[in-house]
């Protein structure tokens, strides 16, 4: 999948960049609740998900009273 084919934002996820969004989509993760079921390090291990995406996701999770698993 080319990053051109990936939407800039999906579900209630914050805009984290097309490579990170594409990686989450490929893993079937499209909501913050689904992100919260994963450990930070497991998401970081996905190609396209970097420290900046993790920081943005962590902030969005905190706004909704959620956190990464583990």
Report yes or no on 54 lying in a domain. yes
CA 29 to chain centre: 7
Report if residue 55 sits inside a domain: yes
In terms of residue numbers, what domain contains 9? Answer: 3-63
Specify the residue for token string 């079937």: 28
**CA proximity to 29, closest of 17, 45, 12, 15:** 12
- Cβ atoms of 59 and 67 within 8 Å: the answer is no
Question: pTM (2 decimals)?
Answer: 0.88
Q: Is residue 29 part of a domain?
A: yes
Q: Does residue 8 fall inside a structural domain? A: yes
pLDDT tens string, the chain, 70 residues long: the values are 555 666 667 889 999 999 999 999 999 999 999 999 999 999 999 999 999 999 999 999 999 999 999 8
């Amino acid at each position: 999948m080319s990053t051109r084919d990936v939407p800039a934002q999906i579900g209630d996820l914050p805009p984290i960049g097309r490579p990170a969004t594409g990686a989450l989509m490929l893993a079937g993760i499209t909501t913050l609740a689904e992100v919260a079921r994963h450990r930070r390090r497991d998401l970081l291990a996905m190609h396209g998900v970097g420290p900046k995406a993790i920081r943005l996701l962590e902030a969005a999770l905190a706004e909704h009273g959620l956190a990464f698993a583990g």
